[in-house]
Amino acid sequence: SDLQKQEERGELLQPLIFVLLVLCSILLYFKVSLMDPGFVKPEEEEGEDKGQGVVIPQIPGDIKLRRCGYCLVKQPMRAKHCQLCQHCVRRYDHHCPWLENCVGERNHPLFIVYLSVQLVVLLWGGHVAWSGLYFEQSREWLQHNIFLLVSFLLIFIFTIVVLLLLVSHLYLISCNTTTWEFMSHHRISYLRHSELENPFDQGIILNLWRFFC
């Protein structure tokens, strides 16, 4: 049959890989959006102060961990309360409206993987849409190809958004800082009173290693 011939020629491999990537991106989306991003729980308060000076020796010792004014838990270093999630989140990065969840200590690496897979899917889909276009200056051609044109434009816009988001996050990760810390540096006590501009930066390689591994 034609299907068997296509399989023998390897023509079904690329569509299969594309479908698997799409399914992978969907699963990653639900995983990142539904998982605990690193909520601070009241029973975890004991021992929060231990090891802070060893991990980040550049932080002034007179900066005390404070209790959250909303959920009343003692906030670890780099945690922030999210009013949308009604929880304090460890190593808070931002609240993502696409996911309806915070991006924090536990799901941030998976969020980067999700963006990477989504970017591959968008680039592949954009290539497929572009390869199906054969430009002619006629009204009939426009009527027959309007769907492909709109699809390509939408894919192009989403590709730019995802690419910029991924690049910005990789840059912040390589500096060992978060979106919240980058945007609100002047308002965060442990950064404002630190002698270094970024006391958490331990070099690009070690920053990436500790984040992903």
Task: Report the catalytic residues.
Answer: 96
In angstroms, rounded to a whole number, what is the distance separating the alpha carbons of residues 188 and 185? 6
**Are the C-beta atoms of 24 and 113 separated by less than 8 Å?**
no
- The residue with tokens 């299969």 is 16
- Distance of alpha carbon 193 from its chain centroid, rounded? 28
Q: How far is CA 185 from CA 77, 165, 179, 194, in A?
A: 14, 20, 10, 11
In angstroms, rounded to a whole number, what is the distance separating the alpha carbons of residues 131 and 153? 14
Angle between helices 13-34 and 108-131 (to 10 degrees): 150
